[in-house]
Amino acid sequence: MKQRSRIYYTATQKALMWERWQKGDNLHQIAQLFDRGHSSIQRILAESGGIKPPERSRSALSLTLAEREEISRGLATGQSLRSIAQLLGRSPSTISREVKRNGGTKDYRSAGADGSAWDRALRPKTCKLVLNKPLASIVTDKLQLLQWSPQQIAGWLKQTYPDEKSYQVSHETIYRSLFIQARGALKKELVAHLRRTRIMRRSRHHTLKDQALGSIKGAISIRERPAEAEDRAVPGHWEGDLLYGDANSQIATLVERQTRYVMLVKVARKDSQTVVNALIKHARKLPDELYKSLTWDRGKEMSEHKRFTLATDVQVYFCDPQHPWQRGLNENTNGLLRQYFPKGMSLANYSQAKLNAIARKLNERPRKTLNYQTPAERFAQSVALTG
């Protein structure tokens, strides 16, 4: 079998790869720029876990190439190390160490010395999670046992240990420790406990949205939604959608805009009558003050929205065509739920009790947008006020 030759890319080509990756292009789109297979692009990006390596730069305190050339010329004309140091405004010991580690007074060459210095400088800083094993253990437990996100862990650590900087770590450090295994801080298996279990960090601009949306008769536009729903001034305004498993199973997902409280509703079929009946039954479990409006995508499962409004006195608003991001809170929540309901799996065997248990896990996670309170705490406060 003929062995394929390895594909090499220039620094300029790699820079273009990272630029397009950060803009949200996928591997296939980037590969088309070079007329290559996507696997060759993945090899480059996966080396650093999909996280662009920082550009290297020289320290302002380091000797420059011009200074090394002066050292070389000074040695060639027989000048002493002290006189060369005085000429450059450097410490004699700096010049002495520079010459000693690059061949001595007879074999010193400026270009070789400069290249060697650049190579020696390549030593990444030891990760904080490697130096602090108890901190790494805490992060591991939160990921593995509670399935918190790196951002939730970082926020919780900051609140729990406000005066102990050694027990604080950024969410970016946690992500890098997971995706860049060379750091040796966190085990690769922990990636499976992230919301989205991919092997590389993906740009926040990346999207897989490309779907045709049905038309809804008598739909009221999201543009007519009350101002209090837009600015999250009061609780009671919800966003909803269907989350699909395999071809024959789905659940309804609801999230409250102010408190980020999540509810999951078992739905036997995806026809509008079944979906609306399930939503009506579920709506009656909440106080009227906490269910004032519902914003939905343009899916045909809500074509009987008027019947829902008559039964619950809850007005339904719809996103503009091909604008699901207008109910971005629910879109994000559905992404988090994929940790529990991967695409293609059957959701038919999940009872309402099991769905409630999964919703409880999400509602008991601290949220950055809530100043690291949990949605359950915020929603309980709203219930108390309505009581």
Lookup result for tokens 């004699």: 92
pLDDT digits (tens, 9 = 90+) for 160-217: 999 888 899 888 888 877 776 555 667 667 767 676 656 566 665 555 444 333 468 8
Distance (Å, rounded) from C-alpha 71 to C-alpha 99? 8
Distance (Å, rounded) from C-alpha 321 to C-alpha 213? 7
pLDDT mean over 47-69: 80
What is the count of structural domains for the chain? Answer: 4
pLDDT mean over 63-72: 92
3-state secondary structure of 24: coil
pTM of the model: 0.51
148 in the Ramachandran plot: left (φ > 0), alpha (ψ -120 to 50) or beta?
A: beta
Backbone angles phi, psi at 211, to 5 degrees: -135, 150
Instruction: Please state, as a whole number, how many other Cβ atoms lie within 10 Å of the Cβ of residue 285.
Output: 8
Backbone angles phi, psi at 299, to 5 degrees: -70, 145
pLDDT digits (tens, 9 = 90+) for 71-91: 999 999 999 999 999 999 999
Distance (Å, rounded) from C-alpha 15 to C-alpha 55? 10
Both tokens of residue 8? 């090499």
Do 242 and 314 share a domain, yes or no? Answer: yes
| Three-state SS sequence of 117-154 | HHHHCCCCCCCHHHHCHHHHHHHHHHHHCCCCCHHHHH
pLDDT at 92: 92
pLDDT mean over 325-335: 88
- Number of residues written out for the chain: 387
pLDDT at 343: 87
Q: Assign residue 293 the CATH number of its domain.
A: 3.30.420.10
> How high is the mean pLDDT of the chain?
84
The strand order across the sheet containing 262-267 reads: 262-267, 250-256, 237-244, 293-296, 315-318
pLDDT digits (tens, 9 = 90+) for 347-383: 999 999 999 999 999 999 999 889 999 999 999 998 8
pLDDT mean over 120-145: 81
Is 282 inside a domain boundary? yes
Question: Which runs of E-coded beta strand occur in 82-219?
Answer: none
Distance (Å, rounded) from C-alpha 82 to C-alpha 94? 10
Do 317 and 375 share a domain, yes or no? Answer: yes
Do 167 and 248 share a domain, yes or no? Answer: no
The β-bridge relationship of strands 315-318 and 237-244 is: unpaired
Do 231 and 377 share a domain, yes or no? Answer: yes
- Could you tell me the residue range of the domain that residue 171 belongs to? 128-193
Is 29 inside a domain boundary? yes
Q: What element of type H or E holds 315?
A: strand 315-318
Do 351 and 322 share a domain, yes or no? Answer: yes
- Is the CB of residue 40 less than 8 Å from the CB of residue 7? yes
Do 280 and 244 share a domain, yes or no? Answer: yes
Backbone angles phi, psi at 367, to 5 degrees: -120, 135
Do 257 and 379 share a domain, yes or no? Answer: yes
Both tokens of residue 183? 């750091």
By percentage, how much of the chain surpasses pLDDT 90? 39
Is 289 inside a domain boundary? yes
The β-bridge relationship of strands 237-244 and 250-256 is: antiparallel
Residue 206, C-beta contacts closer than 8 angstroms, at least 6 positions apart: 24, 25, 26
